[in-house]
Amino acid sequence: MPVAASRYWNAMYGSTSEEVLKDEEGLQIIRVLGRNMAFLIRAIHAERECGGLSEQESRRIATNFIK
């Protein structure tokens, strides 16, 4: 499962919207996360267009552990 990462915990702090906007480190972390997510989405889309992603099995096989 692809996971987009950032630099640190993906969080911003503040009691009000105005306080959150003053959290410069939090704003930077969210910007980096957004760019990384956009890159990952574009990369997956491009790979899908080229036919490079693996095929998905159409039928799910479930195991019944109750005997």
pLDDT in tens, 30-66: 999 999 999 999 999 998 888 777 777 888 888 888 7
Other beta carbons less than 10 A from residue 61's beta carbon:
5
Range of the domain at 14: 1-56
**Does 35 map to a domain?**
yes
**Does 65 map to a domain?**
no
- pLDDT for residue 67: 64
**What sign results for the dihedral spanned by CA atoms 13, 16, 19, 21?**
positive
pLDDT band with cut points at 50, 70 and 90 for residue 17: very high
**Does 66 map to a domain?**
no
For residues 9 and 51, which has the higher predicted lDDT (pLDDT)? 9
- pLDDT for residue 56: 77
**What sign results for the dihedral spanned by CA atoms 33, 36, 41, 42?**
positive
Domains held by the chain: number:
1
**Does 62 map to a domain?**
no
Rounded to an integer, the average pLDDT of 20-36 is 95
